Structure formats: C-alpha cells, structure tokens
Amino acid sequence: MYPVFFKKVRGIMSELRKLYPPYDAYQTGYLDTGDGHKVYWELCGNPKGKPAVFLHGGPGGGIANYHRQLFDPERYHIMLFDQRGCGRSKPHASLENNTTWHLIDDIEKLRNLMGVEKWLVFGGSWGSTLSLAYAEKHPDRVSELVLRGIFLLRPQELHWYYQDGASRFFPEKWERMLSILSEEERKDVISAYNKRLLSHDPQVQLEAARLWSLWEGETVTLLPSKNADLFEEDAFALAFARIENHYFINNGFMDETQQLLDNIDVIRHIPAVIIHGRYDMACLIQNAWDLAQVWPEAELHIVEGAGHSFDEPGILHQLIKSTDKFAEQ
C-alpha cells in the first residue's frame, strides 16, 4: 500500500509546473520620481512579447532574480521594479513621499517608459493590494490580473496578523515579537513598533526591524523554509519593517476600509485569476473568498496544503499555469 501511495505522490509532484529556467534582465535603470526617490527597474524577456509588470510584496520586500522566472521569457516582455525605499531603490528605507498613490504613479511612469498601452499585472500579498488599487485607478491600462495571497488591507486583517490571531499558531515566535514591548505596548503592537522603527537611535530601529521582519519570514510558509534567513539581514529587515509598518499604521493610505472591494465594479471586465493557499496564516483565505464573492467573473483557485509564499508547489503551479494561459491571449 505505502509504495503505491508514495508513487502517486511523486507522480503528482512531477506534474506540477515549476519556475522557468533563470534568465537575465536585458536593460536596467532608475526612474527619478521627482520627489526624492530613484526607483530601480529592469526589463527582461522578449521585447516583442506580451507586456507584463510584476508587483512585489511587503510593502518593502523588493524583487529577486527568481521573480522573472514566473514568466515565459519567449512570450513575455516583463517590467520588474523595487518599490520606493526598498531593494536597489534609493534612498534606502525612506518613508518620505512613500504611499500607495505614489507607487501607482510610479507604475504608470514605468508603463510609459516601457512604451505599452496595456499590460498584465501580477501581484502577490501586498502586491495583490497594489495590483487592485492600480487597476481600479487605471482600468484601461490592465489587460489581465494574476493575484496571489490576497491582502485587502482591512483592519481585521492587520489585527489577525499583528495582534490576535496568527499568534495562536506560532506562540513561541509571537513571544519573540513581543519581547521588546512592555505589557501596555502589547495592546497595540503595530503602534509600539512604529515608535521603535522611527527612533533616532539606529540600534533601536534595527532591533525592532529584525524582529518584525523575522515574524513574517517564519510564518509565511506552511512548512519552515530556509528563505526565512533573508528576513534577518540588516538591510532587508530595515527597509521591510519600516516601510511595511509605515503603510499599516496608515491603513495603506486608503480612503475607506473596504475601498478595494467597494470599487471592484470598475475592473470586473478584466480577466483575472485569484490564487490563495488554504492554510495562509499571513493573509487568511477569507480575503480571497470575500474578493471572489464581489467578483464572480474572476477565476478562484484555493490551493490545498499551502500557506502564503509564492514558491510553495501548489501555488507556484497555479501561477505558472495562469501566466502561460494569458500568454496565449
């Protein structure tokens, strides 16, 4: 019985789609935003291919070379960029002129720089938030949407992950997150961390940044991942924690708590795929379900045996299937 079972499992795993082989960007540069930021960007793939833009998570996460591999380089022309203050963008970890709407303006400038009328918009986690916000502001510039690990930036989502919810599944990791806070400060973790991340003492900032960043790094996959080590690196942690906390304490600079759901009618005509792991602790599956309820035209894939991260096998499989499908249209 057991040999037959494992043979079936190996067969299923071998059929899952994987990343395309590594390939390089053919052009890179910096977008001068005119208000103090220089945004790193890169173009890769086929200049005659289908235009696409990749929006990374965080906020403050930055892009990595393997993000290119979510797209077939023969059929796609892909723009990737580090959002304000993170990755190779300058100045590092800057919060000045750094809001959702600044980022949307940057995306439009990058589309014009690329010289395309429309493009496929791909975003996961915070990237899904930004993708929806961009599409709702510029629906005529979006050909398709591929959304993973849905995050709608509602108060209940922040409360779940940073106050009372996910902590029950990771008590020892949450205790480490609380270790620098007083009992009073623990009543509002996001605000308490905000004070430290804005401290004039660089060591206070860095200590808080590492703890904030590591909490996410160790809870975004269903099973422990070696990639969590990246979240402890000083430069990454400082940008990630400062920018993420900055956005969260300001409610993503949204006018309303349900803004992304309330405005869905303006993008219901855009072909879209929603992909979410069943056991996503960072962004509950309820987020994807709520989005799908107001957007029944979108294609919803709930991935069993998966958490939040894009490279978990079942999630990656659906992502590659989606980009391949849209490449043919």
Three-state DSSP state, 18: coil
Q: Is 125 a catalytic residue?
A: yes
* Spatial separation of the C-alpha atoms in residues 241 and 245, rounded to whole Å: 6
* Spatial separation of the C-alpha atoms in residues 218 and 102, rounded to whole Å: 30
Catalytic choice (301, 308, 309, 317): 308
Query: What tokens were used for 178?
Result: 């609380």
Q: Is 199 a catalytic residue?
A: no
Three-state DSSP state, 233: coil
Angstrom distances, CA of residue 109 to CA of 64, 97, 104, 182: 21, 16, 9, 44
* Spatial separation of the C-alpha atoms in residues 187 and 180, rounded to whole Å: 13
Query: What tokens were used for 325?
Result: 């499908």
Helix axes 189-197, 202-217, angle to 10 degrees: 140
Catalytic choice (125, 167, 213, 322): 125
* Spatial separation of the C-alpha atoms in residues 252 and 157, rounded to whole Å: 12
The sign of the dihedral angle between the CA atoms of 304, 165, 193, 234 is negative
* Spatial separation of the C-alpha atoms in residues 40 and 51, rounded to whole Å: 18
Q: Are residues 97 and 35 in contact, defined by beta-carbon separation less than 8 angstroms? A: yes
Q: Are residues 158 and 190 in contact, defined by beta-carbon separation less than 8 angstroms? A: yes
Q: Is 308 a catalytic residue?
A: yes
Catalytic choice (37, 280, 317, 322): 280
Active site residues per annotation? 125, 280, 308
